[in-house]
Structure 1
Amino acid sequence: MEHLIDLDRKHFLHPTSSIQQQQKQGAKLIVDKGEGIYLTDIHGNTFIDAMSSLWNVHIGHGREELAEAAADQMKKLAFSSAFSTFSHEPGIRLAEKIASISPDRMNTVFFTSGGSESNDTAIKLVRHYWKIQGQPGRRKIIALKRAYHGVAAASTSATGIQEFWDMAGHIMNDFVHAETSYQRTTKEAAASLRQKIEEEGPETIAAFIAEPVQGAGGVLMPSEGYFREVRKLCDEYGILFIADEVITGFGRTGEMFGLDNWGVIPDVMTFAKGVTSGYMPLGGVVISDKIHEVLIAHSKGTLFHGFTYSGHPTAAAVGLKNIELIEEERLIENSRKMGVKLLEGFKEMRKRLEIVGDVRALGLLGAVELVKNPETNESFAKHLHVAPRVIEELHKRGVICRAVTYEQSDIICFAPPLIIKEDQISEILDRLYDSILTVQKELQSQAR
């Protein structure tokens, strides 16, 4: 199996990875198979997948039901284009299903292959919405600092993380960023959004976009009431509200969609990841009846936007089966219950460990912050690489997790499959405690 490491170095340019690390050390892990919440590498080592890979394997690994759904559809109709109003039953059925579980008055779906495409699509659609109504000047998108919306042209520009801009520069214009509500009051965060709207001019703004919980930014929770204030501001200024539910959708936060936690209804909602639990690439955009009616009334000719795999029939069949299993197995309820256990464990850890600061979880989306001084929230020096060291200790103990270190933060993120059981939550917590304790002792020893 060692030859695979050499082949990986030579031929596989990995996404969001250190090229130097790959060349020096080879692949971090070559996964061979998955079952439930576990992954096994080519050497037979087993790991708890505490991130659902990329926040997306909701129903767990190795589910034959989805393999069978894909195989059955491939035997009948593996692929057919949805361009020029061509259609097929899986795409129609999935659009109907997603409409039925979406917030009120959101009934129309445009399909993509993933989250970046979904957010780019949403941005193009809202600009088109204003243009066909005689307001082409409404092009600006207000997003939030520390937001992550993807790596395509518009979604990179909407992302509020400096590292993603540094890679290729700002790809598109007309994107501005307000302060997130993380570690701010609702009043402060809402004031930042209002200020941006006033500075830019509401007549120039197409939409505001936000994740219900900022995932890749560090599982940053909104302040209480924030999104209700956002909805009011968007209504006041006549701005559309795009909810990026790519990570938070399909039960991740203990509700079907993240904004359901606060009873807020957006105008546009993007999704991906959990719609198929990652078994097939699929994403999409759900638009309100109001927007759909405008598109019907004012669009002329062809809507010049679409992807080869928009509404891919095999992916749609897998998505339908995946949502069916989420509902039948009551995985949203399990996400809510296990999320409570996860948060309780984090809080207990904060009492027992000296470098644990803020802890948080909403459903099975959680995070632990590591700080030099929990009383003052003082951060560790960046060169100490505290969160990555904890991630490495977790890896040694058979847990795959993710560190976020933007803006000198040290955050450990968690998003295990929604099928996880209480004893498995306890196992993750025990290994996390041991990992943080090990790094804490190393830091104390270095400080002497």
Structure 2
Amino acid sequence: MEKIKDLKSELSELDKKHFLHPTSSIKMQQESGPAYIFVKGRGIYLEEISGETFIDGMSSLWNVNIGHGREELGRVANEQMNTMAFSSAFSTYSHEPAIRLAKKLSELTPGDLNVCFFTSGGSESNDSAIKMARHYWKLKGKPERKKILSRKLAYHGVSMGATSATGIPEFHEMTSSLAPDFVYAPSPNARSWSEIEDVDLTCIDETIKIIEKEGPETIAAFIMEPIQGAGGMIIPPNGYLKAMREICDKYGILLIADEIITGFGRTGKMFGVEHWDVTPDMMTVAKGITSGYIPLGAVIFSDRIHQELIELSTGTLFHGFTYSGHPTACMVGLKNIEIIENENLVQNTEQRGIELSKGLTKLEEKHWSVGGIRNKGLLGAFELYQDCTSKKRFDPSLGVAKRVVDECLKRKLIVRPITYEGTDTIAIAPPLISTKEEIEQIVSIFSDAVSVVESQLNG
């Protein structure tokens, strides 16, 4: 035990001196060191260096879809590394893993999304889609079509283009400048089943006004998450996605679906847009493509867009990353998809999602502060209100969502608070391998945690 304490202390000091953490409080790290140092993962569980075991209720960063500790992915990575760890895909050089994965993705994606451009992750995928949309219109002799329409509360990543497409003010305030030509439409902001089922699409009318004010002839693409993740787990109201597809078609605007969180079974379908029978012109993916075991992402283009690029291009496509189509990453992606299919994880997620919905309903019925329950598959959330009937929010200074999350952590459950625009949202996204018993355990922990915080608030 003393050895473990000594090791944890050593690593904590090294962490403070040498590791600048992403999306973290620098001050908090320097005062307290790393919150946890994880050393092992198995199934839906993570083990901390002290030996404590936690339920990974967020699949880490919405990405460990097939769960932790899958040795199959390690073996296939080892085999590929021993054969050919890396080779470039520039200058039309190619290799079998990238070719096979591109073909496999074309079989999984809806409609005519059949052509892949590989990246190392989500931000690179969204940046690439944005650049390719502008490139597409330039080739078509319409370089004035360069604006990107995004949405408030959208999250698309942290590289320059992806940050600019993100509609969360905190990410904009971090830097002194953003990429130009980004416009933000309203988010549907549906935060309960009743709002999701509502056919009031006022935000569509507002979006049309923005498009007409900017001039549709200046807009290259509309980028959207089928379900907004980091911005608040916002499931669009019925009819919204179809209406946006029709608007894009009417005004000649390309539709980019950011499936980085929602892809590869997370919502109970292989891709989120399938819930609403919508096919985008481009789809961006990452995270679940390898279940986080190795960095990989992609932009998947429709045959129509690809054919026009073929016909209009005259020289080199001056866009690409060193690790576009990384052979080891592609082999891991293929094995990961094989596991998702062979273990029927999309169907498992659909069933677990039904059980999660029932559990959240009971949570809402039991607790006066819980409202706004919602989920698609294993992507869910609930809201915390001072008054659920009037939807009156707590004073942000109370930090209610964080307090609930802290109580969950005491009970060895990792979930995430989302507090943009004064909300108190608790997000959940456990691995797709979760069992009925594990979903019930998660909901039980939620109930215990909320009970403690409600007691504190009443006191």
Distance (Å, rounded) in 1 between the aligned partners of 2:391 and 2:128: 39
Counterpart in the other structure of 1:128:
135
Of 120, 126, 134, which aligns to 1:113?
120
CA root-mean-square deviation: 0.8
SS of residue in 1 equivalent to 2:386: coil
Distance (Å, rounded) in 1 between the aligned partners of 2:399 and 2:318: 46
Can you give the 5+ residue segments of structure 1 that lack an aligned partner in the other structure?
A: none
Deviation digits for residues 328-365 of structure 1 (CA, Å, limit 9, x no counterpart):
00000011110111111111111110111201000000
SS of residue in 2 equivalent to 1:189: helix
| Aligned positions of 1:9-408 closer than 5 A | 9-183=16-190, 185-408=199-422
Moved over 2 A (4+): 183-187
Counterpart in the other structure of 1:419:
433
Q: Compute the displacement of 1:384 (Å).
A: 0.4
CA contact (8 A) 1:157 1:170 kept: no
Distance (Å, rounded) in 2 between the aligned partners of 1:187 and 1:390: 32
CA contact (8 A) 1:144 1:160 kept: yes
Distance (Å, rounded) in 2 between the aligned partners of 1:345 and 1:369: 14
Q: Compute the displacement of 1:169 (Å).
A: 3.9
Distance (Å, rounded) in 2 between the aligned partners of 1:181 and 1:383: 26
Counterpart in the other structure of 1:439:
453
SS of residue in 2 equivalent to 1:256: coil
Q: Compute the displacement of 1:182 (Å).
A: 1.7
Aligned-residue identity in percent: 55
Distance (Å, rounded) in 2 between the aligned partners of 1:392 and 1:360: 22
- Which AA in structure 1 matches 2:276? W
Q: TM-score, normalised by structure 2?
A: 0.96
Distance (Å, rounded) in 1 between the aligned partners of 2:427 and 2:333: 26
Distance (Å, rounded) in 2 between the aligned partners of 1:361 and 1:107: 29
Deviation digits for residues 9-35 of structure 1 (CA, Å, limit 9, x no counterpart):
111100000111111111111000000
SS of residue in 1 equivalent to 2:325: coil
Distance (Å, rounded) in 2 between the aligned partners of 1:373 and 1:177: 30
SS of residue in 2 equivalent to 1:214: coil
Change in CA separation of 1:186 and 1:303 when aligned onto 2, cut-off 3 Å? farther
CA contact (8 A) 1:186 1:225 kept: no
Deviation digits for residues 253-276 of structure 1 (CA, Å, limit 9, x no counterpart):
000000000110000000000000
- Which AA in structure 2 matches 1:165? H
Can you give the 5+ residue segments of structure 2 that lack an aligned partner in the other structure?
A: 1-6
Distance (Å, rounded) in 2 between the aligned partners of 1:150 and 1:205: 21
Deviation digits for residues 362-397 of structure 1 (CA, Å, limit 9, x no counterpart):
000000111111001111111100111111111110
Q: Compute the displacement of 1:414 (Å).
A: 0.5
